[in-house]
Amino acid sequence: MRHTNRICSTTLAAALAIAAFPLAVCGAAFAQTSHDLVAQEFPDQYEPGNLPDSHVASFYPKEWKTYASVAGRNPVFPLPPTAPKELRDGVRWAFAGAGAIPLDGPPLDGDFKTTAYGIGMPVGVSVVKGVVYAGDDNGYTYALNAATGKMIWAHYGWNMNMSNPLVDGDRVFVSTGNAYFNYAKTMEYVKGRRTVRGPGLNTIYALDRKTGKEIWAYHTPGEIMPTPVDLDGFLYVGTGDGHVYKVDANDGKLIWKTDIQSFVSMSSPVAGDGNIFLGGTYPNYFYAVNRQTGKVAWKTTIPGLVATGISDCTPAYAAGIVVQEATIESGDPNDPVANVLLAMDAATGKILWQYRMANGPVPPAMKTATPMIDSGVVYEGSPVSGNYHAFDLKTGRLLWTVHLGSSIRAGAAVLNGVAYIPYHLGDIAAIRVSDGTVLGKLHIGGSFGPSSPVIVGGTLYVSNIYGWVNAIPLTEIANAGAKH
């Protein structure tokens, strides 16, 4: 709805009076009215009555400073016996963001990519102090009561939010951007020149944790689709303009930026051994960047990489090893690509082992899955084959493989010997980690992209590319039966 008739509208007498004032007065009025109109079109909402009870909130994680909360990417938080019974048993609710479509219906225009990029909540949620935080590709960041699903606040960020919101003290950090190239940048790419991905307003926002109000904003020329990592009061992230940034989390001021030339797609950095690690595209490399100096400590690549294959993946780190998935050309015209899992020495970049997964068709969007490390085991899916695997972290020995039947882009959450993994069909599988047996599959509907789930007590929280956040008791998944 347009409201332009309200801008500087007056009676004739008032208009004549305004004409005698300096131009800046009407300009200021115009600016203020414009701001009000924008607020009406894209309202930042705040419902303090939906804030969680302080006692209940005390049983949830206290912070969220990297994608999936920890470097191994297993966001699981058991609760003590003193926690409220409903939290230990698991809560159930569903929240639909702006523009969400029915979970039992088709995607927008019959296309999952259009759906994910338009209304999707693609990368999972963060859960801190009784609040679920979710980024939406319609531009909003939502704060929801973790026990009830009721919205506390919504902030509009002027671009897609594909980040996992970070929570540090009384601040929430979110980053925005999009997967597109404008015409001029596309022509540069065609001519073999360096390019920038992400037209529009690409931003890191610092928001008030309780109200969602902006504290500061830092803008970059390229997209900031990855989730930053928050370390010692600084935010680190790679962007679509081919740089890695270090920004002061207190005031948003730039500390350093390093030109790596590669644009970073969805590779949210992970920290370890004094470096941050992330993948980049064009040229295709995996990078280690020193946190203090910003200098590239090492970079590595493998032959045959496809498109954004090594830059779509968010790496995991444990025990001096960083794990990353990439997508390569298979050489088979019928099944032209395959996923490859790489384990690298975090200090040197030496590839310790790699595993090539089955060939298959080119995925329409995200071409890699998020690896997850728990208790010396790497869990990893394939968007290409629909297989899910477990490997020994140190040796790369394949422990088991399960075929789930459709693309897998998310990481898993492992609790009490069971891995919970959402995937493209709109299902969540419960897999026994000792042998790969599928214990149950619960159909939620819609579709899951790289939506790594979060477990707190007896509840699994997960977002969906149809624009939903679901809270699901774990018992419903494991008891759903092994067949869809």
The model's confidence at residue 364, banded by pLDDT at 50, 70 and 90, is confident
Q: Is residue 320 part of a domain?
A: yes
14 and 130 fall within a common domain: no
Q: What average pLDDT does this structure show over 330-348?
A: 96
Query: Would you say residue 170 has pLDDT above 50?
Result: yes
CA distance 316 to 414: 15
Query: Do 27 and 63 share a domain, yes or no?
Result: no
Do the beta carbons of residue 323 and residue 373 sit within 8 Å?
Answer: yes
pLDDT tens per residue, range 395-424:
999 999 999 989 999 999 999 999 999 999
Residues 15 and 138 in one domain: no
The pLDDT, as a whole number, for residue 339 is 96
Q: CA 252, 160, 96 angle in degrees (round to 5)?
A: 115
Q: How confident is the model at residue 30 (pLDDT cuts 50, 70, 90)?
A: very low
Residue 466 lies in a domain: yes
Tokens coding 73? 């990417």
The model's pLDDT over 68-107, given as tens digits with 9 standing for 90+, comes to 999 999 999 999 999 999 999 999 999 999 999 999 999 9
Residues 33 and 62 in one domain: no
451, 410 contact by CB (below 8 A)? yes
8 Å CB contact between 411 and 371? yes
Cα–Cα distance measured from residue 127 to residue 142, given in angstroms and rounded to the nearest whole number: 12
Per-residue model confidence (pLDDT) at position 32: 44
**pLDDT band for position 20 (50/70/90)?**
very low
Q: What is the mean pLDDT of residues 127-136?
A: 98
Residues in the chain, how many? 484
pLDDT at position 43, please? 63
For residue 9, the model assigns a pLDDT of 27
Banded model confidence at residue 26, pLDDT cuts 50, 70, 90? very low
Sign of torsion over alpha carbons 65, 70, 71, 73 = negative
Between CA 227 and CA 159 the distance in angstroms is 14
- pLDDT > 70: what percent of the chain? 90
pLDDT at res. 481:
74
13 lies in the same domain as 88: no
Domain membership of residue 94 (yes or no) is yes
Average pLDDT over all residues of the chain: 90
Claim to verify: residue 24 and residue 169 sit in the same structural domain = no
Q: Is residue 483 part of a domain?
A: no
Per-residue pLDDT for 21 more than 80?
Answer: no
Task: Say if residue 26 is in the same domain as residue 107.
Answer: no
Same domain, 456 and 391: yes
For the cut 50, the answer to whether the pLDDT of residue 47 exceeds it is: yes
Same domain for 232 and 124, yes or no, is yes
Least confident of 285-289, 307-311, 367-371: 307-311
Is the model's pLDDT at 41 over the cut of 50? yes
C-alpha span between 128 and 71 (Å, rounded): 17
Q: Is residue 438 pLDDT above 60, yes or no?
A: yes
In a domain, 73, yes or no: yes
Residues 17 and 82 in one domain: no
How many structural domains comprise the chain?
2
- Report the distance separating Cα 350 and Cα 374, nearest Å: 22
**pLDDT of res. 133:** 98
In the prediction, which pLDDT does 351 show?
A: 98
Confidence of residue 33 (pLDDT cuts 50, 70, 90): very low
Does 189 fall in a domain? Answer: yes
pLDDT score of 10 more than 90 = no
Task: Identify the CATH number of the domain in which residue 81 sits.
Answer: 2.130.10.10
Domain holding 28, by residue range, is: 1-41
Predicted confidence (pLDDT) at residue 8 exceeds the cutoff of 70 = no
- 3-state SS string for the chain: CCCHHHCCCCCHHHHHHHHCCCHHHHHHHHHHHHHHHHHHHCCCEECHHHCCCHHHHCCCCCCECCCCCCCCCCCEECCCCCCCHHHHHCCCEEEECCCCCCCCCCCHHHCHHHHHHHHCCCCEEEEECCEEEEECCCCEEEEEECCCCCEEEEEECCCCCCCCCEEECCEEEEECCCCCCCHHHHHHHHCCCCCCCCCCCEEEEEEECCCCCEEEEEEECCCCCCCCEEECCEEEEECCCCEEEEEECCCCCEEEEEECCCECCCCCCEEECCEEEEEEECCCEEEEEECCCCCEEEEECCCCECCCCCCCCCCEEECCEEEEEEEEECCCCCCCEEEEEEEEECCCCCEEEEEEEEEECCCCCCCCCCCEEECCEEEEECCCCCEEEEEECCCCCEEEEEECCCCCCCCCEEECCEEEEEECCCEEEEEECCCCCEEEEEECCCCCCCCECEEECCEEEEEECCCEEEEEEHHHHHCCCCCC
- Burial class from Cβ neighbours inside 10 Å (0-12, 13-18, 19+) for residue 416 reads exposed
- pTM for the full predicted model: 0.91
Same domain for 153 and 120? yes
- Split at pLDDT 50, 70, 90, the class of 40 is low
- On whether both 147 and 241 belong to a single domain, the answer is yes
Task: Quickly state the pLDDT bin for 482 (edges 50, 70, 90).
Answer: low
Task: Give the confidence band of 230 by pLDDT, cuts at 50, 70, 90.
Answer: very high
